[in-house]
Chains A and B, each alone.
Chain A
């Protein structure tokens, strides 16, 4: 706390002392840990918002060429020239990447378009977007929960696959080690037998 008045600082100290003495601790979880942010936890399916996002995706493309400028009071022409040269030199790398990004966006836009079409073909869902009745909201929430569960399962499967691969590689390496060990044992046994034969011969 910052306040230049002495008594406020004193109150601050008293509050801190009270918190320490009583052992008070925050038991309210943070916003980020409680709700899935950005999903509109209570929101119903909003087709118009989806269409707006689609329109935005369709309208906006990433461009490799953009306005090159400098804010330097007197070096501006030189800075701009150098920046142009750098841009030209990096063109072989930047342009295909930008094109790939745009291609990716086009695919995303197509996907969203398919989703909108699919939603519009289902009268219940279309009605839901226009008339957010409680049971339909609940239905949407169920779908959302299922999607979340599916995502969690996917994530777990991925993790399992990862650990399986790790295990597999460690087993493979263990097998290799065992083979080497067996060979070594065989070699030792042979050496032992040779030694035994030599001992017998010496006798």
Chain B
């Protein structure tokens, strides 16, 4: 029996790609014959990691295919054709309304993805949701609750975070200023504008020795242009857009961050929150989508986007050591529930149950 994974694109350094590669290692350790098949494979990924989807042949009825669903594409329809046991791993699809202003074709693909996910409800044997929020989404789309398993989290290789941080970045930002950090691709659902708005208030009225660092790959260049224009108009000169940074730089940025501020309105899980927990960066996050599930009661979860209130919270976290310690203790406790060992064991247990 083979357990294979299939996905449209195996990207380098993104949560889904890392998760798929992590799952492959877990399956290999569990003694399963496994492989990853993808339509597009990033050239930076080692060749032995994944194969082209064209090479996916000879599936038997007893074989299992784990299909990663996160976007609309023609490959999603092929899942119905494969004659084997099918498990849909749902990473969630961003509601198309968020991106329509910046790309109609992109939002159409998202719409197609949502429709395809709904239409596959009776074609898959089981589903794995990457959060309780994703599970609720699947149920709404016609999936049976008892056939969905909510995975405790993503397989995040924590040992990678112990690598050496980029010394230049550390030197640049470790200067006694307050560094407000957000990590996530530049997409309208991530609401980087709300982070800028809060920062603009904080810098203007509370602490002028502060900067905002917005890290992430660029999906919509026009959105980044708009954000930059907004930051300029707000008179917030210390908004830094380093774009997609190297792993060593990312570690350095987390290490020099004072607060992690997330105003995102749609997340299927939000791996950067776990990263912030790992690097002991206090989190302030807007309560939306899967964010409460991922935080699991830790950090500061806000139902308001009022820049005044949020700025006061940042100030409290920076200047109240007791509160900071309390938040970090909560985050460390939560992190213990998301370790790769726990995720790996629960995944293998689940597999044993269904095989």
A and B physically associate: yes
A37, B197: Cβ atoms closer than 8 Å: no
Give B313-334 interface residues, CB cut-off 8 Å to A.
313, 316, 320, 322-323, 326, 330
B229, A35: Cβ atoms closer than 8 Å: yes
B222, A5: Cβ atoms closer than 8 Å: no
Taken together as a complex, chains A and B put the C-alpha atoms of A16 and B306 apart, in Å, by 11
Question: Please, which residues of chain B bring their CB within 8 A of the CB of A43?
Answer: 221-222, 225
Q: Does A71 contact B (CB under 8 A)?
A: yes
A28, B307: Cβ atoms closer than 8 Å: yes
Give A20-43 interface residues, CB cut-off 8 Å to B.
24-31, 34-35, 37-43
B306, A73: Cβ atoms closer than 8 Å: no
A38, B312: Cβ atoms closer than 8 Å: no
CB within 8 Å for A26 and B307 given contacts A34-B230, A40-B222, A42-B229: yes
Question: Please, which residues of chain B bring their CB within 8 A of the CB of A73?
Answer: 122
Taken together as a complex, chains A and B put the C-alpha atoms of A40 and B308 apart, in Å, by 28
Stretch at the interface among A7-15, A148-156, A161-169: A7-15
A1, B201: Cβ atoms closer than 8 Å: no
Taken together as a complex, chains A and B put the C-alpha atoms of A53 and B297 apart, in Å, by 44
Q: Does B171 contact A (CB under 8 A)?
A: no
Taken together as a complex, chains A and B put the C-alpha atoms of A18 and B303 apart, in Å, by 19
Which of A2, A37, A69 sits near B101, CB closer than 8 Å? A37
Give B191-226 interface residues, CB cut-off 8 Å to A.
193-194, 196-197, 200-201, 204-205, 221-223, 225-226
Chain A residues with a Cβ closer than 8 Å to the other chain, count:
37
Question: Please, which residues of chain A bring their CB within 8 A of the CB of B105?
Answer: 52-53, 56
A26, B225: Cβ atoms closer than 8 Å: no
B297, A4: Cβ atoms closer than 8 Å: yes
Interface centre among B227, B229, B233, B301 (most CB of A within 10 A): B229
Taken together as a complex, chains A and B put the C-alpha atoms of A28 and B229 apart, in Å, by 14
Q: Does B304 contact A (CB under 8 A)?
A: yes
Taken together as a complex, chains A and B put the C-alpha atoms of A183 and B142 apart, in Å, by 74
Q: Is the interface of A mostly helix, strand, loop or mixed?
A: loop
B330, A15: Cβ atoms closer than 8 Å: no
A71, B101: Cβ atoms closer than 8 Å: no
Question: Please, which residues of chain B bring their CB within 8 A of the CB of A25?
Answer: 308
Closest to A55 in B: B105
Chain B residues with a Cβ closer than 8 Å to the other chain, count:
50
B222, A2: Cβ atoms closer than 8 Å: no
A15, B301: Cβ atoms closer than 8 Å: no
A28, B142: Cβ atoms closer than 8 Å: no
Which of B119, B225, B234, B313 sits near A41, CB closer than 8 Å? B225
Question: Please, which residues of chain B bring their CB within 8 A of the CB of A71?
Answer: 118-119, 121-122, 141-142
Interface centre among A18, A25, A31 (most CB of B within 10 A): A31
Q: Does B300 contact A (CB under 8 A)?
A: yes
B309, A15: Cβ atoms closer than 8 Å: yes
Closest to B233 in A: A34
CB within 8 Å for A30 and B197 given contacts A1-B304, A37-B226, A41-B225: yes
Closest to A2 in B: B301
Give B275-301 interface residues, CB cut-off 8 Å to A.
287, 292, 297, 300-301
What is the 8 Å Cβ interface bit string for chain A, positions 67-108, against chain B (1 contact, 0 not)?
101010100000000000000000000000000000000000
Closest to B306 in A: A26
B285 to chain A, nearest CB (A): 11
A31, B230: Cβ atoms closer than 8 Å: yes
Taken together as a complex, chains A and B put the C-alpha atoms of A31 and B312 apart, in Å, by 21
B221, A26: Cβ atoms closer than 8 Å: no
Interface centre among A16, A42, A67, A69 (most CB of B within 10 A): A42
Q: Does A19 contact B (CB under 8 A)?
A: yes
B316, A2: Cβ atoms closer than 8 Å: no
B268 to chain A, nearest CB (A): 21
Question: Please, which residues of chain B bring their CB within 8 A of the CB of A7?
Answer: 322-323, 326
Question: Please, which residues of chain B bring their CB within 8 A of the CB of A198?
Answer: none
Closest to B199 in A: A28
Chain A residues with CB under 8 Å of chain B are 1-5, 7-8, 11, 15-16, 18-19, 24-31, 34-35, 37-43, 52-53, 56, 60, 67, 69, 71, 73
29 contacts between A and B (CB under 8 A): A1-B309, A1-B313, A2-B287, A2-B292, A2-B302, A7-B322, A7-B323, A7-B326, A8-B300, A8-B323, A18-B312, A26-B201, A26-B306, A26-B308, A27-B204, A28-B200, A30-B197, A34-B234, A35-B233, A38-B222, A41-B226, A41-B228, A42-B225, A42-B228, A42-B229, A71-B118, A71-B121, A71-B122, A71-B142
Question: Contacts A4-B297, A41-B225, A42-B229 given; 11 further ones with Cβ under 8 A?
Answer: A2-B287, A3-B297, A3-B301, A8-B300, A8-B323, A11-B323, A15-B313, A24-B205, A26-B306, A42-B225, A69-B119
Q: Closest 4 CB pairs between A and B?
A: A40-B222, A41-B229, A31-B193, A71-B142
